[in-house]
Structure 1
Amino acid sequence: MNILISEGMPYYGISRLGKMNQVEVIPDLWANKEKLINKIKEADALIVRNQTIVDQDVLSTGKRLKVIGRLGVGLDNIDVKRASAQNIKIVSAQNANSISVAEYVMSVILNAIRTISRAIEDVNLGNWDRQRFTGNEVFGKTLGLVGTGDIGHRIAKRAIAFGIKVIGYEPYLNDLSFPFMETGIEKVAFDRLLEESDFISIHTPLTEETRSMFSHREFALMKKEGILVNTSRGGIVDEYALLDAVESGKIAGAYLDVLEQEPVEPNHFLLNNKQIFITPHIAGLTIESQERTTDMICEEVLKVLNGRNSLMVVK
């Protein structure tokens, strides 16, 4: 079997796949659609991250494709309906990076309320300004989760341990679901979450329904002290509306790990704003999560190629 990898993958995963298969790794293939289409013709499996656009053109050329392995969770870069119509299985690393994302969210919440990184920078400049960096406690604050699935559940457990009240908006789960019955998340309407949360963390896929879910109306409802955290997909947040909300004082700031267009251009209008902090899509990117993701995708891709049942196939 021929396995094509169009983005980076740890060597041990490549080695595992290559024991009984032909593996071709082209880390920058995602950036050259013409070359990708040419290479996909001979591939039985394609392994991608989030930058390879697997659209109708690619899929229609991949006549031999049996499975697409997604080294991550989101599937907005893959035409799932078209793949299903061609009987191409898609396997994703469901929950493999949930702990890493949960820890990222907690770390930015703590950084936002204590600004420790800025205090360190200031001391390195020769200052000793204790009053400026007094900060606040997270104890007693409210965290609003937009999406209460596996990641939201893990964030809630950690936040509650800090004494944070956790509320959640989740239209696809009923009141008896475990996030609300057992985790300790209070289920609320979306507007109430906007109005009551000191921190809002987004954990929902990018769909037509969620595109620009956070725009002018939503920012106007948030607290002036409110902080937005987005580790899901950039298109969920209207970036121009966000900049306006921050600059006009409607909200206090934002931590963005994802943007509508990635990687970010050097002259992007959100850069160098002292209240908007951008990281390069690393929330789920830790050594441990990458090991889990690689192991899972290798195992499930090999299962499909060998005609065995995979529980990770996207339905």
Structure 2
Amino acid sequence: MRNHLRTFMLLAAMTALFVGAGYLIGGPGGMAIALLLAVAMNAVSYWNADKIVLRMYGAHEVDETHPDRLIANFAADVHALADGADMPRPKVYLIDSDQPNAFATGRDPEHAAVAANLGLLRMLDRREIRGVMAHELAHVRNRDTLTMTVTATIAGAISALANFAFFFQGNDRDRPGGILGVIAIAILAPIAAALVQMAISRHREYGADAGGAEISGDPEALASALQKIDAYARGGMVNHQAERNPATSHMFIINPLSGEGADNLFSTHPATQNRVAELMKLAGRSPTVTGAPRRSGTAVPVSPAQRGPWSS
């Protein structure tokens, strides 16, 4: 009950931000339009949560019959993990991107989808990939996916509305805040939306890490995967789809943004080393760095040993 109340309050805050931006830009009329748009976006996000984000990333569905053994094994493992956790089997999607990463979406466990970048399958070993997908299944089981997707939709709309403020062709006297109000909303609204995303995402990532460790029975595998994914993301391997849709960054297991722009000013994820430390506590061992080394400004090379049996 407490989790549902927190979710309601956070989504209400996002909606209020959007409506407030509409008021400062267009007065009472702008507020009414923004309110209607917010209600419509929430409704559309609820019924089409999975389709919205998956379409953004050009994801395509895969299953155990895929001719590529790497991909077929990936889909089979996701379904086996779901079966072992006594969960409905989610749809499994693949994104054609080199940066290793993954996310889950959908309005409830019965209508869920999990997606992974092709780079995840190529750069992690099978045990680590199972750990990552168990984390995503934990998001599904915890019903985080609807909140994360609706938040991404509204946060993106707030940023678009803030950009639109500079080109609004109306009389400044009709705007409650005047030109200063427009400038304020253009600067502060995206920051406020990012802060709400942080509040939603950071708490949920720790919960999904613990849940994923339970589902896979292997917290060390998830810890190793997190270190490798973080190293590649920070090593210059850019996720171009995520850079075009920064409002969705909180949905991924590791922040996919390169950090080259202001969109990455606030992190939506806990520090990887803190997550690893918590997972190693669950494993009963001291934290150790087992992932690929970080290299500033360049992509981290992938050795055959790092690729594991799926890439052979």
TM-score above 0.5? no
**Bigger proportion of residues as strand:** 1
Between the two structures, name the one with larger relative contact order (CA 8 Å, sep ≥ 6).
2
TM (normalized to structure 1)? 0.27
TM (normalized to structure 2)? 0.27
